[in-house]
Chains A and B, each alone.
Chain A
């Protein structure tokens, strides 16, 4: 199982852009797996944000699609999340994960990184 590690700012101001990177030990250029972002607001359940294949094909949650961009850098074995125009509702623990399909199942997870949206 690969190891995944999220990195990025833990505090973002309202209306600004949340940017996170996931570094994978091993290669992101593996067939049959997608790489995704999932978030969990404090005390709440899980929400799939979006996924990417190593070729660059992306899939986004329709509820977030207008604000989300996921990209991959195969040379660094990293993939990244950008979420624009954030509000307090975007405060959550953000996980990166390896997915067995476009929308799941997530068989390897990062430890999660908390992001707070506040001025």
Chain B
């Protein structure tokens, strides 16, 4: 099973700043099967990025994904107040798939 490790565990930034979240896989994965989700308290996760770099429907263009092999990045170019949440990466290319432990983005 592929293990995804996200860093940092918590990221403290201010609105307007740039956020860079990392996801490292224990072995090389296909970028076609790497996703990012945003989860706010009491809500279901929301798909942001799939295939490592493709924005899901309705996702603002300040969110971007990149990476390949074992290292992937989610970048939020200019933080808005509503962006403060927990972010998960997800590999879904093979059974059973795996999620990272999450990065909490706090003000």
Residues of A within 8 A of B (CB): 1, 45-48, 59, 61-63, 95, 99-107, 109-112
Contacts and interface: CB of A to CB of B under 8 A. Distances in A.
Contacts of A47: 99
A61 B45 contact: no
A61 B94 CA distance: 11
A45 B35 contact: no
Interface in B68-107: 88, 90, 92-97, 99-102
22 contacts: A1-B57, A45-B99, A45-B102, A46-B45, A46-B99, A48-B96, A48-B99, A62-B95, A100-B50, A101-B33, A103-B33, A103-B93, A103-B97, A104-B97, A105-B47, A105-B90, A105-B92, A106-B35, A107-B47, A107-B57, A109-B44, A112-B44
Closest 5 CB pairs of A and B: A104-B92, A103-B97, A109-B44, A105-B35, A103-B92
Nearest to A99: B92
Interface residues of B, number: 23
Contacts of B101: 45
A46 B44 CA distance: 11
A1 B96 CA distance: 25
Interface of B: 33, 35, 37, 43-47, 50, 56-57, 88, 90, 92-97, 99-102
B88 A45 contact: yes
B99 to A, nearest CB: 4
A92 B48 CA distance: 23
A95 B44 contact: yes
Nearest to A46: B99
A110 B56 contact: no
Given A45-B102, A46-B45, A110-B44, A103 B88 contact: no
Which interface residue of A61, A104, A106 has the most chain B CB atoms within 10 A? A104
Given A45-B88, A45-B100, A45-B102, A103 B95 contact: yes
